[in-house]
């Protein structure tokens, strides 16, 4: 007798919730967009968007806030994947914001364009009149992101107030905003880093090579391995050396560290993540270490 298995896996439940959220946004908002950096979380969001609207095309553009200091492998992947999908890619440039005098570039050994992205992001949202912006943030990443709702309200200055958030009961989301305000939407809120990697393996999703083990010139600062790159200022007391590393998260080179790892396949990455006791951002992001509330301070200003 034919046996059918109607078991719903955890990934099925998470995927269904994310698809529901994307369809809800497409139905409720006039001008949504999806932030796509070429990182693993936004790559997963892109796959979910494909499934949510298939066989139609994804009904909103992609947008990347480019610091100009991103890893070459990730930018190549961003452009190629967008072209393969026939998606409209908007690149908002931090360099343009600097040239226009909207922001001032930091100087010194720890200079970074990471925080400058906020102004570029808010300017792009206003220019294109986006009223909903999909982000790939997950609650397990960092304590400020754990406070975010799935539909996270931003006022007409693009700012977030963590003490004044709308309740979300079951899967009911409040999409009401006034002109000039917008909603940040996080379909992966309930996912963990391990869920993301399990989904990448299950779906056979391509990711940039930077996520896999490779030999790279790095130097150590504050316990993190930063890359040898023209835009990263290295002191005489920070000697270069070669290491076998990979990246758990990707972003601006000036604040994104590598981890020592020999994981060369998605399966090996999953084995590694399953036993680690250090969070993804805690292991690799210098921008979150500047103060105890660094991420929350940035998010209040309008950061991702």
Residue 283 pLDDT grade (very low, low, confident, very high; cuts 50, 70, 90):
low
Mean pLDDT for the stretch of residues 63-78? 96
Residue 300 pLDDT grade (very low, low, confident, very high; cuts 50, 70, 90):
confident
Q: Per-residue pLDDT for 285 more than 70?
A: no
Both 184 and 209 in one domain: the answer is no
Both 221 and 79 in one domain: the answer is no
103 belongs to a structural domain: yes
4 belongs to a structural domain: no
How far is it, in rounded angstroms, from Cα 108 to Cα 120?
22
> Tokens in use for 179?
């002109």
Both 148 and 19 in one domain: the answer is yes
Q: Per-residue pLDDT for 289 more than 90?
A: no
How far is it, in rounded angstroms, from Cα 132 to Cα 185?
7
Q: Element (H or E) spanning 182, and its range? A: strand 182-185
258 belongs to a structural domain: yes
On average, the pLDDT of the chain sits at 92
Residue 81 region by backbone torsions, left for phi larger than 0, else alpha for psi between -120 and 50, else beta: alpha
Residues 240, 218 contacting (CB under 8 angstroms) = yes
Both 17 and 147 in one domain: the answer is yes
Residue 65 pLDDT grade (very low, low, confident, very high; cuts 50, 70, 90):
very high
Q: Per-residue pLDDT for 98 more than 70?
A: yes
CB-based burial, 8-37: b 16+ in 10 Å, e otherwise: eeebeebbebbbebbebbbebbeebbbbbb
184 belongs to a structural domain: yes
Both 209 and 126 in one domain: the answer is no
Structural domain boundaries, residue 99: 10-196+293-301
Mean pLDDT for the stretch of residues 122-129? 96
> Sheet containing 62-66: which strands, arranged edge to edge?
89-93, 62-66, 32-35, 132-134, 182-185, 151-154
What one-character-per-residue DSSP string does 99-129 give? HTTSS----STT--STTTHHHHHHHHHHHHT
Mean pLDDT for the stretch of residues 190-202? 96
What one-character-per-residue DSSP string does 249-279 give? S---TTTB-BEE----SHHHHHHHHHH--S-
Give me the residue label for tokens 């994307």: 22
Would you say the C-alpha torsion 196, 59, 131, 35 has a positive or negative sign? positive
From 60, 55, 208, select the one nearest 134 (Cα to Cα): 60
- pLDDT value, residue 219: 95
Mean pLDDT for the stretch of residues 17-42? 97
3 belongs to a structural domain: no
**What's the CATH code of the domain at 40?**
3.40.50.620
Which position has the higher pLDDT, 59 or 277?
59
Using CA atoms, how far residue 106 sits from 109, 212, 226, 300, in Å, is: 9, 31, 18, 20
Which position has the higher pLDDT, 294 or 288?
294
Both 15 and 146 in one domain: the answer is yes
> Tokens in use for 79?
């452009």
- pLDDT value, residue 2: 62
Terminal-residue alpha carbon distance, the chain? 53
Q: Per-residue pLDDT for 287 more than 70?
A: no
- Please write down the HEC assignment for all residues of 33-53: EEECCCCHHHHHHHHHHHHHH
Q: Per-residue pLDDT for 29 more than 90?
A: yes
Q: Per-residue pLDDT for 49 more than 90?
A: yes
13: phi then psi, degrees, rounded to nearest 5: -65, -45
Provide the 10 A C-beta neighbour count for residue 237: 7
Both 55 and 102 in one domain: the answer is yes
Both 268 and 239 in one domain: the answer is yes
CB-based burial, 161-194: b 16+ in 10 Å, e otherwise: eeeeeeeeeeeebebebeeeebbbbbbbbebbbe
Provide the 10 A C-beta neighbour count for residue 239: 9
Q: Are strands 62-66 and 89-93 parallel, antiparallel or unpaired?
A: parallel
5 belongs to a structural domain: no
Read off the DSSP letter of residue 209: G
- pLDDT value, residue 290: 63
Both 37 and 185 in one domain: the answer is yes
Both 82 and 14 in one domain: the answer is yes
The total of structural domains in the chain comes to: 2
Both 96 and 243 in one domain: the answer is no
Both 186 and 267 in one domain: the answer is no
- pLDDT value, residue 288: 62
- Least confident stretch, 11-15, 210-214, 273-277: 273-277
50 belongs to a structural domain: yes
How far is it, in rounded angstroms, from Cα 283 to Cα 271?
17
């Amino acid at each position: 007798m034919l046996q059918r298995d109607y078991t719903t896996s955890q990934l099925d439940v998470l995927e269904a919730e994310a698809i529901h959220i994307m369809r809800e946004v497409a139905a409720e908002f006039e001008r949504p967009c999806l932030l796509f950096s070429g990182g693993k979380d936004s790559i997963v969001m892109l796959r979910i968007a494909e499934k949510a609207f298939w066989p139609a095309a994804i009904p909103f553009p992609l947008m990347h806030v480019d610091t100009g200091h991103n890893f070459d492998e990730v930018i190549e992947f961003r452009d190629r994947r967008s072209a393969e999908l026939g998606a409209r890619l908007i690149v908002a440039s931090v360099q343009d914001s600097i040239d226009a005098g909207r922001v001032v570039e930091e100087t010194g050994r720890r200079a970074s364009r990471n925080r400058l992205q906020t102004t570029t992001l808010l300017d792009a949202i206003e220019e294109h009149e986006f009223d909903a912006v999909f982000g790939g943030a997950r609650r397990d990443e960092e304590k400020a992101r754990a406070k975010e709702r799935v539909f996270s309200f931003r006022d007409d200055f693009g700012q977030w107030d963590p003490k004044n958030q709308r309740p979300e009961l079951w899967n009911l989301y409040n999409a009401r905003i006034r002109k000039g305000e917008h909603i940040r939407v996080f379909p992966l809120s309930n996912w963990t880093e391990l869920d993301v990697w399990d989904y990448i393996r299950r779906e056979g999703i391509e990711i940039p090579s930077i996520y896999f083990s490779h030999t790279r010139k790095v130097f150590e600062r504050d316990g993190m391995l930063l890359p040898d790159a023209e835009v990263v200022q290295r002191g005489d007391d920070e000697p270069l050396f070669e290491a076998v590393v990979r990246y758990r998260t990707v972003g601006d080179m000036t604040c994104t560290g590598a981890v020592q790892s020999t994981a060369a396949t998605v399966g090996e990455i999953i084995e590694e993540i399953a036993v680690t006791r250090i969070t993804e951002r805690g292991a690799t992001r210098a921008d979150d270490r500047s103060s105890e509330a660094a991420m929350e301070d940035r998010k209040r200003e309008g950061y991702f």
